[in-house]
Amino acid sequence: MTGLWTRARAFEPAVQLLFVNQFSINLGFYMLMPYLAAHLSGQLGLAAWAVGLVLGVRNLSQQGMFLVGGALADRLGYKPMIVAGCALRTGGFAALAFAQTLPVLIAASAATGLAGALFNPAVRAYVAVEAGTPERRVEAFALFNVFYQTGILVGPLVGLALTGVDFRLTCAVAAALFAVLSVVQVLRLPVRRAADATAAAAAGDTGGAGRGQWRAVFGNRPFWLFSLAMTGSYVLSFQVYLALPLEVERLLGEGTATTAATSALFVVSGLVALVGQLRITDWCKRTWTREQCLVAGLGLMGAAFLPPALGGPGYAGVAALLLCAAALAAANAVLYPFEMDTVVSLARERWVATHYGLYNTVCGVGITLGNLAMGALLDVGESRGLPAVPWLAFAVLGAGCAVALRSLGRSGRLAAPVPVVGGGVG
């Protein structure tokens, strides 16, 4: 951890603050959200459909509003959206502590989702702009992912201890954490704004900036192709939350062993990111080009599903799932820094937050559709006695996305475009 913080301190104080900010955001979120469903169905006695509705509204309000959050960040500045998101999540988590009726629960859940849509694109755009050069961006996002994953690893452990006392205590602590974050951002985070919006404001041409903003984003064909090709990686990564836990339950049945094995999936995934991210990124930068890193990461992500396809019954199968989780985490460590840098590059460093917002929206839709398809495959594999079929389909998806990225790289569509001189505000 000493080496991690030493490297983080090489960046501007604002970037260092955003690293800690992201750890704290995930700490607060994951100390509460994994236990929300149990609280809704147990203590509040909601029906399963109502629990699904509350959780679904949170996801929809976040995924559906990413583009809006990114566009606002580019137009109004990154800091206001980060502060607004943290403040809104403070209110949402505080409301969850006391909400008793379904309408209030839905409103609180929507607020927590919208909060993520406001600050996520803004934080990533801020890090990208402050880091400067592509090489520094890659390192910054590698460090960012370490703090990000550490929050995911620590959050549920803190939440487990707090929820053991009272779920309302968990909500209160999470809300307090976001309240502190809001104050810290107000006091310590410098104001940053997209260069395009700044130029437009100086020229008094805000309407022209808006038209140029949407043309630059929606007319960016290489960016669209990259987003679609990368969607598969998000579908595959999400299987740590869907296919892998379901397979653990199929292998071991219900009980303590299943709970422990499922927890181990997340611990292994988090530890690989925590221990390996910087080493993996450093090795990739020395060895491969950015495009090769993307292709290799997607290939590894697909290959991660081969052990479960070959795994045996019982604990042998669980061992294969743990290997899959570790390989997925390693693949994500390869992909993430170069993926984030590629988005900035394809955006020509213009309207970066809007591009991140649209990218998250595209991938979010892909996750939903992909999970429907993969869930159906899991059912078919189990009902027809072909348990290897879903895992092989996952592997094929990873390989197909790797081929698509390779094709985009060979055609030059992943290369950094030449900036458009004088076209900043449309």
Same domain, 157 and 292: no
The structural domain count of the chain equals 2
pLDDT at 421: 38
Same domain, 65 and 126: yes
Same domain, 148 and 249: no
Same domain, 262 and 130: no
Same domain, 189 and 223: no
Domain-embedded: residue 283: yes
Domain-embedded: residue 105: yes
Domain-embedded: residue 118: yes
pTM score, whole prediction: 0.90
CA gap 394, 309 in Å, rounded:
10
pLDDT tens for the 426 residues of the chain, in order: 667 888 999 999 999 999 999 999 999 999 998 889 888 988 899 888 898 889 889 988 998 899 999 999 999 999 999 999 999 999 999 999 999 899 999 999 999 999 999 999 999 999 999 998 999 999 999 999 999 999 999 999 999 899 889 999 999 999 999 999 999 999 999 998 776 655 555 445 555 566 778 998 999 999 999 999 999 999 999 898 888 988 888 888 878 888 889 889 988 999 999 999 999 999 999 999 999 999 999 999 999 999 999 977 888 999 999 999 999 999 999 999 999 999 999 999 899 999 999 999 999 888 888 888 888 888 887 788 888 899 999 999 999 999 999 999 999 888 765 444 333 333
Same domain, 249 and 397: yes
**69: Cβ–Cβ under 8 A, 6 or more apart, which residues?**
81, 85, 114, 117, 118, 119, 120, 121, 122, 353, 357
Domain-embedded: residue 199: no
Domain-embedded: residue 208: no
Domain-embedded: residue 417: no
Find the farthest-apart pair of alpha carbons in the chain and give their distance in angstroms, rounded: 67
Identify the domain boundary among 146, 178, 193.
193
The domain containing residue 329 runs over which residues? 217-410
Same domain, 112 and 241: no
Q: What is the CATH number of the domain that holds 157?
A: 1.20.1250.20
Domain-embedded: residue 205: no
Same domain, 223 and 151: no
Same domain, 317 and 172: no
Same domain, 189 and 234: no
Domain-embedded: residue 201: no
Contact at 8 Å (CB) between 74 and 194? yes
Same domain, 25 and 121: yes
Same domain, 189 and 240: no
417-420 long-range CB contacts below 8 Å, 24 or more apart?
417/222, 417/345, 417/346, 417/348, 419/348, 419/349, 419/350, 420/348
